[in-house]
Structure 1
């Protein structure tokens, strides 16, 4: 659902950009609490890289149309809603600047649509379901499925609202809404399946790292030497910290290798059909207002390494580069946010001592 330049006029794009800046600013403040654990910052960087990788895996839905993960629900449930918005913003920025995917003047539109709306809708539904359903890990997975499913057509409806306010073509809004929501309900099923499977997989091995599962389910177990053992209580001795730290590093490494494999190899077998927005835009004539991408001459435009030409090696290497850059930029952002929180806490503590 990456909106190109020219679909939405300048005034609405500027307004969406302002909303995106405000959302990112609020998220930078809100994420300080979510990143209080020292393991949270690298995990958030990994989540951003994983979303980038999975977004390269377009899956067929119907009538020559494909879909891909938006990722708002997945990010919010794994690392928290504020950090989740930042994750999607980092992904969209990397895609727009390096890969010419999603317009640069439409970056605010894309962040508000694919990041803010999906996170707010999905996490609101997720928390509501978790509160009323039995407090079990299965509840977390099932709630993640429903939340992700609803978030995609919600984003499609929000794009239609922006089109109604500032569309550059004369296509009836009713037709756009019907087409966008209809195809994105189907894409939402894929989003829900990917989100639930990923959340369930993380719950199975490291439930303590799932933000949305805090306080739910059985006591934490760690996989040590191929066996599941009860995690030591943090206050029971110093041995608990090294074991948990080693386990978290191992988890991060496995996650990064998985993201690299998805982007560098599995993506080569993704559907080449246009995604939901591209299909609707072509069918309804919305794409008549599209403008060339400002970064179309980027060395990595269209997810290929231009120096290598077209082909599997070029596409696979572009995916690997994308994952590497995204995890580096994302981790840097989240470490900076966490450090800022630590500095604020230190200043507050010093102020109390002086008083």
Structure 2
């Protein structure tokens, strides 16, 4: 009996340090992220020699402690695997409080932002899952930041090749209002989506609805801003979501498009199309300023006649060239 008690005491003495160490490690992970106030949340690291991860968590969420522990564990894992310094911060936001970095994301908490060493722009870490893992954070530290392309009538087809087989990959394109007060926030969200969709060869771009992109907007029937289109393999899909619902956008771009209606990509406007549009706009500009509709109709008819003559001449020239080669 005495031997049994002694053995039990020895085992207990050996096990107690393990319990203490385990709790200590757990507390270190839990407190790895430092709480910051709004004024200090978005400032770079004081010593400017580390990456900065900023997590926004809803204060009233019953899982706030669990989410904070998940972020801390992810940061700890990334530090161990990469050997790089990462400063972890977190803010507890009240329900309905605006996110200082992207108000559009207020309803999407929790969310995390990453400020890479040497950079000045916070990148949102957008994932379909609600939890951030160490492997995903580690991947972001080693990847080059994604770039959101600006598209207009002059470069849309050349970059996306939407009508010619999408040889440059798939594209998620947002049509935005350049005067929107939330333009910078929406662009930041779009950048985060580009980073998350990069493994699927999906690039992200924005089209600012100005005169320089009028033909592109008309080509795809864009009547209002904040429209999202996904281009894949010569077809496009209209997303029923907006950028602030980024988790739904991610799900659609990954697999949800397969259940959505597919639209064929209209052919890119030719120089002749642009010429016709210019002439029509020119003729319409006379409407209501005292010019007879008959005169406008005659001018339009002459233009069409000239276009037909040019087309016939071009076709005849090609035919003559073939005959000459045959002889």
Please report the TM-score for the alignment, with normalisation by the length of structure 1. 0.21
Of Structure 1 and Structure 2, the greater helix share is in 1
Of Structure 1 and Structure 2, the greater strand share is in 2
Q: Which has the larger Rg?
A: 2
Highest RCO, 1 vs 2 (Cα 8 Å, sep ≥ 6): 1
Please report the TM-score for the alignment, with normalisation by the length of structure 2. 0.22
